[in-house]
Amino acid sequence: MTPVLEIKDLKTYFKTPRGVAKAVDGVSFAIPKGGTFALVGESGCGKSITALSVIQLVPEPAGYIASGEILLNGRDIVDLTEREKRGIRGNNISMIFQEPMTSLNPVLTIGEQIMEAITLHQGKTRKDARRAAIEMLGRVKLPDPASLLSAYPHSLSGGMRQRVMIAIALSCRPDLLIADEPTTALDVTIQAQIIDLIDELKREMSTAVLLITHNMALVYTHAETVGVMYAGKIAELSPTKTLFRNPMHPYTVKLLRSIPGQEKRGLKLDTIPGAVPPATSYPVGCRFSGRCPREMEGCANIEPPLVERAPGHFVACHLHDPEFMSKPYSKPLRHEPDELPSLAVPHEKRETLLEVKGLKTYYPIRKGLLKRVKGHLKAVDGIDLTVRKGSTLALVGESGCGKTTAGKSIIQLIRPTEGKIIFNGRELTTLSEKGLRPFKSRMQIIFQDPYSSLNPRLTVKETIEEGIRALNPGLAKKAREEKIAETLLRVGLSAETMQRYPHEFSGGQRQRIGIARALAVDPEFIVCDEAVSALDVSVQAQILNLLKSIQRDFGLSFLFITHDLGVVEYIADEVAVMYGGRIVEKGPTEEIFSNPKDAYTKRLLDAVPKIDASLLASWKLP
């Protein structure tokens, strides 16, 4: 049977001032009818460009498909005219995007947007299209589909919008659905619903799905076949269960071992040194050479082909090539130990550092000409927390539950409305701005977005210096510079980076600078506000390792605000689950995860796709 989609040696290049960027450089795979194929890998590996090539939407004129075939039901669609391509898009191939907030047009009703695709591709009358749209909205399980037709996107939540997007994408019963990070921007509980919905509709309509994601657990639970992409090529391709049971490419192993989770508690997460090489200058040989833990002398010069090493299991690595291994250039250059080193924080004394009692933070809602207060938005509505010295408390919950406001209220960035915050025996909420000053250096914050957390016009030195200057004004210039260099070194950056500007760093390095900024004033307590959520999994592992080692060395306490339960399981000693401004459940991490009491916590834990923890043992470097 011909597969729905078959890609043969696809090459999609971009013309850039620095040469040709080979974003996709010889990718081949096939998806059968009703199958799900997942493409995984770090960002910048060419996953999304592969998807855009399939739907023939490579950004022109810089990007172009240099060679290769894309067969849709056996028919090559690369050389079609623009008119023919338009006929295929939406009708045979549909796509859903990451950001449901921007993928619907805010000035058109939901009905108009669904019916547009149906009338265009199926030639139905408006009346028939309307009926089809109502049916489709019902199938994606939206309540009251008929009245939803006249609603505008702004009145829908993110999850509902993503359902509408799915309804639009599937309204013409396409042969292939491309889902580019379909759940990344959604809340954990909704993520599971959306991915299950895609799964269900796929089975019903026997649509083939190309799933692009960096979430390994999602791949594990929802894809039949998986391709691991690295630097424009597929490094490993295999049925999902096989890949997770026996990953053969060092990159895959490293990627899997860098995912935080309960099974890795007390261990250092695996990290991949360096970064994905830029698409304009790949290494001559294996593209993973230079970062590979098992690199051999010949790796940098000889490119490994993608070869079937076990039934259905393709790997592009010399380590599995007996012929290569018999040659003299197979002498290993590097040989990292197989075990993950331990990284445990000693747990002797656990005195209370910070106590939060009945914290309430309300935002006034002002209305009318005179801006009178007409009500309050109760962002944080009475929470109690205890943070112990040298330990980590995780605050989890979905977006909008008030966890960030709670974090900022605790360190007095937002002055709370009510409640007590007792830090080392001192009540903070009653202090004036001036009285708070001594506490500013003892409580710091690290932010989520490594791009907006650094002022683009200040050098690294100026950024870090700001806090030292404000909180330790007596320090001489020389001592200050020494302190900055020392802090940079501690977070894994060299002292030479001082004179550079933030844009010269990668996301992970920027996050290190953000940590250095907080660390430079010698805090005792740090609020990590989604500090690793915006990072790639391998970079996330580096930052988590860093945070943990800092905690071990300085006895710091963390309040870890996050929605990623894997991170919580890995790093937190205690967990507090927040819902609607209140804490619904709190306790030691293991207890909460193994035996949740509250209904919401149960729902939250059930919703998260998980990789079988026992598989860790089988993730060995080849």
Answer whether 195's CB lies under 8 Å from 607's CB. Answer: no
Instruction: Please say which residue, 425 or 456, places its beta carbon nearer to other proteins.
Output: 456
Q: Which is nearer to other proteins, 337 or 456 (CB)?
A: 456
Q: Are 514 and 547 in contact (CB under 8 A)?
A: no
For the chain, the residue count is: 622
The smaller minimum CB distance to other proteins, of residues 306 and 445, is found at 445
Q: Which is nearer to other proteins, 237 or 518 (CB)?
A: 518
Q: How far is the CB of 537 from other proteins (least distance, A)?
A: 22
The number of C-alpha atoms within 13 Å of 440 and in the hemisphere containing its C-beta is 16
Closest to other proteins by CB, 267 vs 464, is 464
Contact positions vs other proteins (CB under 8 A): 371, 408, 411, 413, 433, 436-437, 440-441, 443-445, 447-449, 452-459, 463, 466-467, 470-471, 501, 503-504, 514, 517-518, 521
Least distance CB 364 / other proteins (angstroms): 11
What gap in Å lies between CA 256 and CA 147, rounded to an integer?
45
The secondary element (H helix, E strand) that includes residue 82 is helix 82-88
Q: Determine the Cα–Cα distance for residues 154 and 268; give it in Å rounded to an integer.
A: 43
Q: Which is nearer to other proteins, 329 or 451 (CB)?
A: 451
Query: Which residue lies nearer to other proteins by CB, 120 or 436?
Result: 436
Which residue number, 21 or 140, has a Cβ lying nearer to other proteins?
A: 21
d(CA 528, CA 578): 16
Least Å distance, CB 243 to other proteins, is 37
Structural element, H or E, at residue 208: strand 208-212
Q: How far is the CB of 454 from other proteins (least distance, A)?
A: 6
Question: How far apart are the C-alpha atoms of 259 and 245, rounded to whole Å?
Answer: 15
CB of 377 to other proteins, least distance (A): 16
In whole angstroms, how close is the CB of 459 to other proteins at the nearest point? 8
The CA R_g of the chain, rounded to the nearest whole Å, is: 26
Residue nearer to other proteins on the CB measure, 355 or 466: 466
- Identity of the residue, 63 or 467, whose beta carbon is nearer to other proteins in the bound complex: 467
Prior bond of 61 cis (ω within 30°): yes
- Supply the minimum distance, in Å, between the C-beta of residue 376 and other proteins: 17
Tell which residue, 426, 41, 93, has the closest CA to residue 216.
41
- Shortest Cβ 453–other proteins spacing (Å): 4
The CA distance from 326 to 318, in Å, is 11
Maximum pairwise Cα distance, the chain? 83
Other CB atoms within a 10 A radius of the CB of residue 332 amount to 12
CB of 534 to other proteins, least distance (A): 11
Structure tokens at 180: 């580019």
Using a 10 angstrom Cβ sphere, with 0-12 exposed, 13-18 middle and 19 or more buried, the burial of residue 374 is: exposed
For residue 196, the minimal CB distance to other proteins (Å) is: 34
* Residue 144 burial (10 A CB sphere; 0-12, 13-18, 19+): exposed
* Contact of 574 with 409, CB cutoff 8 Å: no
Cα–Cα dist 422/124, whole Å: 66
